[in-house]
Amino acid sequence: MIAPAVRRGVGHAACHHGEILQGVFLDATGRRCAGLVTLPMTGPGSRAEFTRRPGTPPERLGVLPGDRTKAARAAALAVAECARRCREAPCGGELRIASDIPVGLGMGSSTGDVIAVVRAVADSYGVRLAPDTVARLAVRAELACDPLMLDTRPVLFAQREGRVLEVLGPRLPPLVVVGCALGGGAPVDTLSLPVPAHDASDVRAFERLRTLLRRAVATGNAALLGRVASASARRGQELLRHPEFDTLTDIARRLGAVGVQIAHSGAVAGLLLDPGARALRHRVRGCVRALESNGIAVTRTFTTLATTQEFQSGPAHRGGHRPTGSDTPRRPARLPAL
């Protein structure tokens, strides 16, 4: 008897640079739900390769690195989904994951792994899963997920439900983002943070920010987007309490940034600049120097333009944010630098 042939599939997922807006919003039925708008960024990402072995029991699933438990759950869920669609029995296999998305900075490292794995499993079955299906599987695998399975259109996304609350428009206003890592880039244990309680006045405030962000996207207004991001970041500090936050906002004010942006579940942050501002490169260099002189690690400067542009204007960031261990590739993971 000839053994069934092994079948391989690969999948990729990008990262993001934290949130522009996060809070509690009303869905189309008027129900409250947590939601967020992320800041897309090209560069770091997750890659998965799944080799499925037809005829083996589905619980026989090898995963490298071995402690990617969320990714392993995602693989099992994706196998069940794809096998059902193909009218086959679920089977086991081997899963390999490599990622250079920094862990603990709030850039979607776990969601990146999960989505790459789901896509790799689907590829091994020759199945193309719709983004809402990928989102549903991701939420089941990790309880909440970022909208990395979608395209780069700005959306208000219910991260605990895996659904889009609103498509805000075709693209974000053009921005230059001078990225940095607060707290020395130390990972944030989001599971140890208290769950914030939001009352009706909080929801009204978040809805006002949602309206302003919708207007910023519709008009391409970088200054208005910066105002929303700064307000959201300030609200996030009620929970995260980054000691450098006041320094960050002071640098933004002094050097003419339109606002600041901070991951609500991590330490990555950014100074937001209007690319149409006078002496832009001088402003970028000034932001880099100001951050470094205040002991804030500079990571990467990038834009939200359709074709990502890098600003070569500063020392390379030489540290790796992703901690070494069985959960990581051995090559240093770092954010491409200025």
CB of 11 closer than 8 Å to CB of 122: yes
58 vs 132: CA distance, rounded Å: 24
Distances, alpha carbon 192 to alpha carbons 53, 189, 199, 239, 240, in Å:
39, 6, 22, 11, 11
pLDDT digits (tens, 9 = 90+) for 43-101: 899 999 999 999 999 999 999 998 899 999 999 999 999 999 999 999 999 999 999 99
pTM (two decimals): 0.86
Say whether pLDDT at 335 is over 50.
no
Taken in order of first residue, the domains within the chain and their CATH numbers are: 7-165 (3.30.230.10), 169-303 (3.30.70.890)
pLDDT digits (tens, 9 = 90+) for 139-178: 999 999 999 999 888 999 999 999 999 999 999 999 999 9
- In whole numbers, what is the pLDDT of the chain averaged over residues? 87
82 vs 257: CA distance, rounded Å: 47
- Which is more confident, 315 or 5? 5
Bridge pairing between strands 92-99 and 61-64: parallel
